[in-house]
């Protein structure tokens, strides 16, 4: 049981954070629990001055996380370090699946009494999304680990809603809720509504070739098209005008662009510069 593992875990990690069991289930003799953790920020890696401030959250844990040699170990060089054991725990994944089925059963009882077919929930898609939002706000376990959507400031992943509803969902509901300014959908995460940010590009690389210069810029936020913006200048004159070239990103740019994306953008940009030089050569010939 997790409570039996905590003393040794605290002895190695300290009491920051501490854990409280909110709800648990035993699967094949293995405890999986929705737990509340509470602690104080020791070092703020965001640079926002949060060191010393309290933090509180909820997440799905199992015995693996608190077991030495499975969820953590003592390293001679780095001290106490985490291990990947909990991420591979089948019982933890089973607990998420069972909770989704439990919620599905609750919604069938509420919206379609007497039916066991999740398809009968489709017309109540909006009701279910709104109910799940309230459950997420209240800190309920809704069949997710608690470390994905909430990390990005959201309620839950849209795929979780589909899973709870047996794969059936009214496709008009999400756009409707967004137009009503009830939710936002970013990267598949259902989040509190926020006004879209204006487009803003950040120059990442520049290539100069005589009087020509190519510029490749990245989007600064997720509300923008996730593409490179490729522009070519001749002196101060923008040759691409109102129709700049946009090259799709194949990887998320959140932690910086992938090397393959950079190489692709550089190759494409050099091609655009070459095309611009040839176009200028042809036009200058006729200007003479």
Beginning with the edge strand found earlier in the chain, give each strand of the sheet holding 189-192 in spatial order. Answer: 156-157, 189-192, 183-186
Report pLDDT for 125: 98
Structure confidence at residue 151 (pLDDT): 83
User: Residue 16 in contact with residue 43, Cβ under 8 Å?
Assistant: no
Residue-wise pLDDT tens digits, 38-71: 999 998 877 778 889 999 999 999 999 999 999 9
Tokens standing for 159? 């795929």
Q: Give the predicted TM-score (pTM) of the model.
A: 0.74
Cβ–Cβ under 8 Å, residues 162 and 128: no
Quote the pLDDT of residue 288: 61
Residues in the chain: 288
> Which of the 8 DSSP states describes residue 123?
G
pLDDT at 242 (0 to 100): 56
In the numeric block, which tokens belong to residue 150? Answer: 């909430």
Q: In this structure, are strands 212-219 and 227-234 parallel, antiparallel, or unpaired? A: antiparallel
For 140, phi then psi, to 5°, come to -75, 155
Pairing mode of beta strands 201-209, 189-192: unpaired
Whether 132 contacts 14, CB under 8 Å: no
Sign of CA dihedral 142, 144, 146, 152: negative
Domain ranges of the chain: 2-88, 92-192, 201-287
Residue 236 in tokens: 């101060």
* Structure confidence at residue 109 (pLDDT): 98
Of the candidates 6, 18, 80, 81, which has an alpha carbon nearest to the alpha carbon of residue 55?
A: 18
Strand, coil or helix: what is 39? strand
Structure tokens at 129: 């999304």
Number of helices and strands (H, E) in the chain? 7, 13
pLDDT computed for residue 192 by the predictor:
96
Residue 265, number of CB atoms within 10 A of its CB: 25
Q: Which residues contact 74 (CB under 8 A, 6 or more apart)?
A: 12, 68, 80, 81
- Regions in the chain scoring below 50 on pLDDT: none
């Amino acid at each position: 049981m997790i409570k039996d593992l905590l003393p040794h875990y605290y002895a190695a990690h300290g009491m920051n954070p501490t854990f409280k069991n909110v709800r648990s289930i035993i699967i094949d003799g293995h405890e999986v629990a929705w737990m509340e953790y509470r602690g104080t920020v020791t070092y703020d890696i965001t640079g926002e001055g949060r060191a010393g401030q309290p933090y509180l959250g909820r997440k799905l844990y199992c015995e693996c996380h608190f077991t030495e040699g499975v969820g953590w170990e003592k390293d001679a060089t780095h001290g106490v370090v985490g291990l990947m054991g909990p991420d591979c725990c089948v019982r933890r994944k089973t607990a998420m699946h069972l909770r989704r089925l439990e919620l599905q059963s609750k919604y069938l009882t509420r919206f379609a009494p007497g039916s066991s077919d999740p398809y009968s929930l489709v017309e109540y898609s909006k009701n279910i999304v709104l109910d799940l939002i309230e459950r997420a706000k209240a800190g309920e376990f809704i069949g997710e680990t608690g470390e994905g959507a909430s990390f990005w400031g959201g309620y839950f992943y849209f795929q979780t809603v589909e899973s709870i509803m047996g794969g059936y969902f009214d496709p008009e509901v999400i756009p409707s809720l967004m137009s009503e300014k009830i939710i936002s959908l970013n990267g598949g995460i259902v989040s509190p509504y926020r006004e879209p940010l204006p487009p803003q590009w950040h120059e990442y690389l520049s290539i100069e070739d005589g009087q020509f210069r190519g510029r490749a810029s990245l989007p600064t936020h997720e509300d923008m098209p996730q593409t490179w913006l490729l522009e070519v200048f001749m002196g101060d004159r923008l040759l691409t005008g109102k129709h700049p070239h946009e090259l799709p990103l194949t990887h998320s740019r959140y932690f910086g662009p992938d090397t393959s994306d950079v190489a692709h953008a550089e190759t494409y940009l050099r091609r655009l510069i070459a095309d611009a030089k040839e176009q200028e050569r042809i036009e200058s010939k006729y200007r003479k």
